[in-house]
Amino acid sequence: MTTDVLRATALSVGYSGNAVVRDMDLRVGVGEVAAVLGRNGAGKTTTLRTIAGLLKPVAGQVEIAGRVAAEPLHTRARRGLAFVTEERAVIHGLTVHENLRLGSGQPSAAYELFPELKALRRRKAGVLSGGEQQMLALGRSLAAQPALLLVDELSLGLSPLIVQRLMVALREAAAAGTAVLLVEQHPAVAFAIASHGYVLSQGEVALSGPVDELRSRMGDIEASYLSGRASGT
């Protein structure tokens, strides 16, 4: 039986007490990759920011490693959470190596994951391509060997080749025991590595289940992107 690293129960998330996603139940176990899917504006990033501790839940609760998580992000990070945002959170004025040294893992581990970064170690992060910046952000997080990794829209604006490279790294991290929660707009990208998926539509989980089952319902998922509603649960 897989041990849950992350569990959200009846979770409602939003701003100023107004929920944009309601009554969400979600879990990710040791060594698993789960994906939260949905069109733009579905509440995917808000959900991730709440799980990370950047926002307070409107209702419900988040448990990490069996404990109710009520503390802010920096405290959750000390307890094994890592968060890769869609903004490619690197410090532009620092070199690649200096950015890696800011993480809690060893730069050598990031270079092993992404050898491309070693050749760029003295280059300022601000002049890197979008793909290189995302490798840097992901490599810095994975070097710390987090228990739980939250990843927001990793594929946004990147070439298919770079996306594949990043997804392989996520799959390898999960194989080593990290629980990964991936927010993604493109089902095909997420389904390549995830074992379980949650499709958000009109403020709720419209579809969820093992990826093998969700693949057989791609018509329903695509309909939810176009209309904001999926047929069935």
Residue 212 has φ and ψ, to the nearest 5°, of: -60, -35
Tokens of 33: 């990759």
The residue extents of the domains of the chain are 4-89+147-227
66 φ, ψ (degrees, to nearest 5): 85, 0
**What percent of the chain shows pLDDT beyond 70?**
96
Rg (CA), the chain: 17
**For 57-67, what is each residue's pLDDT tens digit?**
999 999 999 99
What's the CATH class of domain 4-89+147-227?
Answer: alpha beta
Region 68-76 average pLDDT: 95
Q: Give just the sign of the alpha carbon dihedral 167, 187, 44, 47.
A: negative
How, if at all, do strands 59-64 and 67-68 pair?
A: antiparallel
CB 22: neighbour CB atoms within 10 A? 18
HSE (side-chain half, CA atoms, 13 Å) at 178: 24
pLDDT digits (tens, 9 = 90+) for 22-47: 999 999 999 999 999 998 889 999 99
Predicted confidence band of residue 4 (pLDDT cuts 50, 70, 90): very high
Q: Is the pLDDT score of 220 beyond 90? A: no
